[in-house]
Amino acid sequence: MNIPKALTIAGSDSGGGAGIQADIKTFQELDVYGMSALTSVTAQNTLGVQGVHSLPVPFVAQQIESVFADLRPDAVKTGMLFSSEIIAEVARQAARHRIDKLVIDPVMIAKGGASLLQSEAVTALVQQLLPLALVVTPNIPEAEVMTGCPIHSLADRKEAAKRIHDYGPAYVIVKGGHDAGSDTVTDLVYDGRGFTELAGPRVDTVHSHGTGCTFSAALTAELAKGKDVLSAARTARDFVQAALTDALGIGGGQGPTNHWAYRRQKGVSV
């Protein structure tokens, strides 16, 4: 039996709602074997990020080497990378291991406002990692930072997607969660030729901690199974929609999404 395998290169969220914890839970729920290479460890809960401890670059590299030496993943995603040094090493590893299904979630700022990427590292992310990516999944503020252009409308988002595509990824998905003015949430997929809008009803909830990690992990899991980018993105939207709709309601602040919800809605087989 061929077991699909996915690797996340990301930070740990001690609160379990975002970061590698969200990624591994999502891989598991989609029947994909999950592996991790940690870049940083955060002390974090639903109230915010209390501390960040970045791991030494050679040890980030060693984790990736260990995984590739034995368990070769079918798809890889990145999340919190924190520094330009870690980004440079991840880019080197991606090229060295010829990772073709590489999803870059350009994590910059936690929903609570804490910085998860040093500001001087944005250029490294754009110049070194985006050219290697199959898909990059910015939210609206991240797309603004990467392009230097404010986004107020869907037309602005389309323009940003085109500019980000020029940096080299095959697909750009500008997510719509931060477009608070609408009762529909639309994720915009751009493949360099045309746009596809993936829409769903906006869920009115504070429990949205980790939605971006969960979306990019579900996308990566589906790519690991051999799905094409558009169908993987549709499943990822459905996964997050279910995870937000059926909130767990735990923690005193911005709580985690429900990673069980999608499987429970679908029945046993996903």
Ligand X SMILES: Cc1ncc(COP(=O)(O)O)c(N)n1
Q: Which residues contribute to the site for ligand ADP (CB under 6 A)?
A: 139, 175-178, 185, 187, 200, 202-203, 208, 211-212, 215, 237, 240-241, 244
Please give the Cα distance from 161 to 174 (Å, whole number): 7
Minimum distance from CB of 69 to ligand X (Å)? 25
The yes or no reply on residue 198 touching ligand X (CB under 6 A) is: no
Q: Which does 73 bind (CB under 5 to 8 A by kind): ligand ADP, ligand X, none?
A: none
Phi, psi of 116, deg, nearest 5: -110, 5
The yes or no reply on residue 235 touching ligand X (CB under 6 A) is: no
Part in contact with ligand X (CB under 6 A); list of ranges 6-14, 26-34, 66-74, 186-194: 6-14
- Among residues 77, 111, 165, 175, the one that binds ligand X under rule CB under 6 A: 111
Strands 102-104 vs 33-45: parallel, antiparallel or unpaired: unpaired
The yes or no reply on residue 37 touching ligand X (CB under 6 A) is: no
The yes or no reply on residue 210 touching ligand X (CB under 6 A) is: yes
Minimum distance from CB of 218 to ligand X (Å)? 14
The yes or no reply on residue 79 touching ligand X (CB under 6 A) is: yes
31 dihedral zone (left: phi>0; alpha: psi -120 to 50; beta): left
42 dihedral zone (left: phi>0; alpha: psi -120 to 50; beta): beta
Q: Which does 79 bind (CB under 5 to 8 A by kind): ligand ADP, ligand X, none?
A: ligand X
Any idea what DSSP says for residue 56?
Answer: P
Continuous H helices in 136-179: 140-147, 154-166
Inter-residue contact 103 to 134 (CB < 8 Å): yes
Please give the Cα distance from 213 to 199 (Å, whole number): 18
Contacts to ligand X by CB under 6 A: 10-13, 18-19, 42, 44, 79-80, 107, 110-111, 116, 209-213
